[in-house]
Structure 1
Amino acid sequence: MSTYVYMVRHCDSPKEGNERTRGLTPKGYSDSQLITDILKSEKINAVVSSPYRRSILTVKKIADQLGQEVVIYEDLKERKFSSEDNRISDKQLAPLLEKSFKESTFALEGGESNDDCQKRAIEVINELLDKYRDKNIVIGTHGAVMTLIMGYFDSTFDLEFLQRTTKPDLYRLEFKEKDLVDVKRLWDVQ
């Protein structure tokens, strides 16, 4: 038997605002329905998410269809890039990510490193793999933390991979016990 983890990178969200409370744009809401339509046939057992509103809203419809609540895990939140609670601009983020993927312990003051983010997120993933062994789990997530989780199991999931992902994006990870044996992208860029 296998455990399937569906990593759902959140849909489009406004460019300004607080990291924790930013929601979805109209396109984001529309895409969240498309994500739900893809996941309908996957026999999902549980829906979990980062505590950030945009991730919760991206996977909420699938949880609603199952008659479940989205289970929130604080340690699935996006990597904290700085001490600020507001979004970092793409112009600022690109060089920060490049340096972070070259030096996994690098962090801005008040932020966290790739190593720190990966460590906290992998603890949750291991807990979920134990709790939902041989089941299907949806995880509402973010680009950097998703890449760091996937990269923990397979180093080919790196900065280049992150740069190719979209909002939203959807990957099905197949685990045998805690070994990642297959990854399939399920999101067909619209």
Structure 2
Amino acid sequence: MTVIYFVRHAHSHYTADEYNRPLSDNGFKDRDRVTKLFENKMIHVIYSSTYKRAIQTVEGIAQEHHLQVNIVDTFKERTLSNKKIMDFDDAIRQLWSHPNFAFEGGESNETAMERAITTLQKIVLAHPNDNIVIGTHGNIMVLMMQYFDIQYDYSFWKKLSIPDVYQLTFQNFVLVDVQRIWKE
């Protein structure tokens, strides 16, 4: 069995610079709580989105386990649009309601899911019987989960916390179990 721990990044204050947006003070406190969650778990490898807030959220786990964080661009958050989005929640609702719809310059659910799942499959198959941490983001995380089970949808995404941690257990590339392990 391969175990994937999806770690949704901790809190950060919004800036237009998606790549370099750091964790907030509260985000760093939660990062320490996330690290503590993994102190007694065997972790073999850590991957993260290219976004600073995702990397910072899993850095403590990497330090605790003497591992490097492998940066993977395909785990970054989905691109909504290259234009300013006035109502974020409405935009996300539209994207989840119409999986092949995309705003100008953005990614549809189908496109974002495909990019992330291709990488996830390679990682799961390359690490049989390993425990893997992946620092990622809410939308892309739920899209990857939805690939295996349609119950992971917009409503599920709306209930996520920041941060959040889910444990997914795979046999080959077949999902056999999902558990939320983050305690708010």
Normalised to the residue count of structure 1, the TM-score between the two structures is 0.94
Q: Which amino acid aligns with 1:24?
A: L
What is the Cα deviation at residue 17 of structure 1? 3.4
SS at 2:87 equivalent: helix
Q: Which amino acid aligns with 1:123?
A: T
**1:100-119 pair list within 5 angstroms:** 100-119=95-114
Residue 126 of structure 2 corresponds to residue 131 of structure 1: yes
What is the Cα deviation at residue 14 of structure 1? 0.8
Q: Which amino acid aligns with 1:131?
A: A
Residue 26 of structure 2 corresponds to residue 22 of structure 1: no
What corresponds to 2:182 in structure 1?
A: 187
Structure 2 distance, partners of 1:169, 1:71, is 20
Tell me how many residue pairs correspond in the alignment.
184
Residue 156 of structure 2 corresponds to residue 161 of structure 1: yes
What corresponds to 2:35 in structure 1?
A: 36
What corresponds to 1:73 in structure 2?
A: 72
SS at 2:134 equivalent: strand
What's the % identity of the aligned pairs?
36
SS at 1:32 equivalent: helix
Structure 1 distance, partners of 2:103, 2:76, is 17
Q: Which amino acid aligns with 1:15?
A: Y
Q: Where does structure 2 lack aligned partners over 5 or more consecutive residues?
A: none
SS at 2:166 equivalent: strand
What corresponds to 1:61 in structure 2?
A: 60
Per-residue CA deviations over 1:34-84 (Å, capped at 9, x if unaligned) read: 001101122010110000000000001111122221001111110000115
Q: Which amino acid aligns with 2:13?
A: P
Per-residue CA deviations over 1:63-117 (Å, capped at 9, x if unaligned) read: 1122221001111110000115x8x5xx611111111111101111111111000
Moved more, 92-101 or 153-162: 92-101
What corresponds to 1:146 in structure 2?
A: 141
What is the Cα deviation at residue 177 of structure 1? 1.0
SS at 1:17 equivalent: coil
Normalised to the residue count of structure 2, the TM-score between the two structures is 0.97
Structure 2 distance, partners of 1:141, 1:106, is 22
